[in-house]
């Protein structure tokens, strides 16, 4: 079953570069994308979003210097630096990692030469170890790319005239997720807890859980101001309304699968039944309909020890 999921995930990836969440193995042959796909967008106040290859990077630039959230891949660090340079410097003082996946931490080995990397303790643990992830072996990250500061619940950094607040959310996309609140600029970076308008990737192998993700999104909707701008892990800069729509989709698709599980339907039967047409678009990204059904099914199966 796992092999099928991996194959489905990979096929979905190939079909969707824009939601690239690729190869978490360093230097595995994925070439650089053209520079043109790297773009810096002003979001609000001190905060910018940097789009490129991999997870969206959040950027704070001001009187105290540069801070980034996530680092995409090592082999696109030059492309990222070229965008940062347009602000005045390409050398961040601090880097937060929203979670351990390679499309968010791959560039740590470059940016960690100058910056202090900060992340949840489970991110450091995973980066330190050799992991079997989605059928591939991932080697440990060298020391330079490891978080130097870790936390269990979160921390605040006072930078560029505002409190930059990192808050850990338990068991959502992974078990090491952090959401970053730029409290003055009124911007929130949600990492991969938010795939705008798409079914999410819930990494069950890294301690993620569908139930936990739904709970986290519910909490975030309570915490995020109505007029805040949201930087998602993947997809365009969004609003609280977009997050509510995503929550509605998560809840209703999860209920559809769980109801059939309670009726004793097999995974194959649930896949054959599919979702209503209004969720077609949500399945057009990295995670297609079958992969999402399988994730929900596995996350809520008793043997998985649903959290």
21 sits near Zn ion (criterion: CB under 5 A): yes
Is the alpha carbon torsion for 65, 69, 70, 75 positive or negative? negative
| Interface pick for Zn ion out of 103, 162, 175, 193 (rule CB under 5 A) | 103
Task: State which residue, 190 or 267, has the beta carbon closest to Zn ion.
Answer: 190
Quick one: tokens of 290? 């079958």
CA 95 to each of CA 99, 116, 151, 184, 231: distance values in angstroms, whole numbers, following the listed order: 12, 6, 14, 19, 16
Stretch that binds Zn ion, among 17-25, 152-160, 243-251, 278-286 (CB under 5 A): 17-25
CA dist 83 and 53 (Å) reads 13
192 sits near Zn ion (criterion: CB under 5 A): yes
| Interface pick for Zn ion out of 23, 101, 235, 291 (rule CB under 5 A) | 101
Stretch that binds Zn ion, among 31-39, 53-61, 108-116, 260-268 (CB under 5 A): 53-61
Stretch that binds Zn ion, among 25-33, 47-55, 125-133, 137-145 (CB under 5 A): 47-55
String of contacts with Zn ion for each residue 221-260, x by CB under 5 A: ------------x---------------------------
Tell me how far, at minimum, the Cβ of 134 lies from Zn ion, in Å. Answer: 11
Q: If we measure between CA atoms, which residue out of 272, 306, 294, 275 comes closest to residue 12? A: 294
CA dist 112 and 127 (Å) reads 13
Give start and end residues of each alpha helix (H) in 137-232.
210-223
Task: State which residue, 45 or 233, has the beta carbon closest to Zn ion.
Answer: 233
Q: If we measure between CA atoms, which residue out of 178, 205, 212 comes closest to residue 192? A: 178
120 sits near Zn ion (criterion: CB under 5 A): no
Task: State which residue, 45 or 172, has the beta carbon closest to Zn ion.
Answer: 172
Task: State which residue, 162 or 192, has the beta carbon closest to Zn ion.
Answer: 192
Stretch that binds Zn ion, among 5-13, 20-28, 151-159, 262-270 (CB under 5 A): 20-28
End-to-end CA distance of the chain: 21
What lies within 8 Å, CB to CB, of 8 at 6+ separation is: 288, 290, 291, 294
CA dist 19 and 252 (Å) reads 22
Quick one: tokens of 293? 């059904």
298 sits near Zn ion (criterion: CB under 5 A): no
| Interface pick for Zn ion out of 23, 47, 52, 55 (rule CB under 5 A) | 55
Q: Which residues bind Zn ion (CB under 5 A)?
A: 21, 55, 101, 103, 192, 233
């Amino acid at each position: 079953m796992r092999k099928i999921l991996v194959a489905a995930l990979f096929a979905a990836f190939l079909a969707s570069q824009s939601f690239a969440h690729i190869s978490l193995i360093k230097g595995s042959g994925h070439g650089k994308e053209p520079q043109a796909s790297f773009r810096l967008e002003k979001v609000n106040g001190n905060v910018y979003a940097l789009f490129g290859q991999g997870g969206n990077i959040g950027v704070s630039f001001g009187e105290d210097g540069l801070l980034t959230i996530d680092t995409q891949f090592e082999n696109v660090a030059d492309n990222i630096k070229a965008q940062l340079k347009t602000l005045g410097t390409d050398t961040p003082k601090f880097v937060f990692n929203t979670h351990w996946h390679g499309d968010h931490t791959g560039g740590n080995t470059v940016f960690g030469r100058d910056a202090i990397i900060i992340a949840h303790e489970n991110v450091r643990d995973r980066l330190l170890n050799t992991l079997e992830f989605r059928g591939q072996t991932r080697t440990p990250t060298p020391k330079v790319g490891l978080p130097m500061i870790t936390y269990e619940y979160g921390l605040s950094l006072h930078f560029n005239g505002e409190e930059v607040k990192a808050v850990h959310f338990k068991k959502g996309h992974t078990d090491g997720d952090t959401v970053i609140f730029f409290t003055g600029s009124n911007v929130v970076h949600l990492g991969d807890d938010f795939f705008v308008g798409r079914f999410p990737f819930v990494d069950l192998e890294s301690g993620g859980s569908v139930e936990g993700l739904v709970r986290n999104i519910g909490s975030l909707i309570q915490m995020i101001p109505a007029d805040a701008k949201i930087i998602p892990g993947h997809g365009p800069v969004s609003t609280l309304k977009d997050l509510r729509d995503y929550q509605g989709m998560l809840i209703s698709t999860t209920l559809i699968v769980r109801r059939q599980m309670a009726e004793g339907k097999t995974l194959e039967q649930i896949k054959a039944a599919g979702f209503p047409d209004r969720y077609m678009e949500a399945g057009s990204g990295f995670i297609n309909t079958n992969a999402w059904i399988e994730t929900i099914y596995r996350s809520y199966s008793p043997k998985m020890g649903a959290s």
